[in-house]
Chains A and B, each alone.
Chain A
Amino acid sequence: GAGVSQSPRYKVAKRGQDVALRCDPISGHVSLFWYQQALGQGPEFLTYFQNEAQLDKSGLPSDRFFAERPEGSVSTLKIQRTQQEDSAVYLCASSFGQPSYEQYFGPGTRLTVT
């Protein structure tokens, strides 16, 4: 079946603009995760949903970052008033949920803030 998809694949934003990144998880996956990956580094956790409930948002770097998953399927990560340090690849992953811990990753959205 289809894997995790993300759109857009590439986004260039001017400093101060708002951006919205979309994630379509694998159908039936209960858990959804967002990660931020800087160049040459491993991914860093941002936030986690179980169905529509955001159970962990401890990794969001500031209140400019907001994520939602209103119907328990598609999720959107919104970044307000983008800054240069927000430039990174944003990865979405989904999982069946417990007891499975394996996560299935999308291709990511590369955000460049100029």
Chain B
Amino acid sequence: SQQGEEDPQALSIQEGENATMNCSYKTSINNLQWYRQNSGRGLVHLILIRSNEREKHSGRLRVTLDTSKKSSSLLITASRAADTASYFCATDKAGRRALTFGSGTRLQVQP
């Protein structure tokens, strides 16, 4: 079963705008990761945030984590058409290597 939900399920923006996606999860976690999946392809790791971290940046990506609310957000700044993809959050628990994925947000960036 999926760990949690992501919202929105779908998001359409113009190139240059910022995109924010949210992820909620159900149980205590060790780490939270965000992955991108282009249509018909495998997942690509974007960023990992540990449970004792609150914010992390990587290039145009900014991730926040609120363990008290069991939620995370991914912000993509100055979006590009090439950012069009599905984005998934994934969590792992202490002592278990398996990732539990959310249901994903489909992002469409219009040129």
Contacts and interface: CB of A to CB of B under 8 A. Distances in A.
A66 to B, nearest CB: 18
Contacts of B42: 4, 91, 105-108
B31 A101 contact: yes
A33 B97 contact: yes
Given A4-B42, A102-B48, A33 B98 contact: yes
B81 interface: no
Contacts of B100: 45
Contact of A104 (B41, B45, B96, B102): B45
For this complex, into which size category does the number of interface residues on chain B fall? 20 to 34
Nearest to B35: A105
Contact of A42 (B2, B30, B31, B96): B2
Interface in A38-57: 41-45, 48, 50, 55-56
Interface string B84-111: 0000101010001111111110000000
B24 interface: no
B45 A103 contact: yes
A31 interface: yes
B43 interface: yes
A42 to B, nearest CB: 3
A15 to B, nearest CB: 24
A50 B98 CA distance: 12
Contacts of A35: 99, 101
Contacts of A105: 35, 42-44
Contacts of B44: 105
Given A33-B98, A42-B90, A107-B42, 12 more contacts: A31-B97, A35-B99, A42-B101, A43-B99, A45-B99, A50-B97, A101-B30, A101-B33, A101-B92, A103-B43, A105-B43, A108-B42
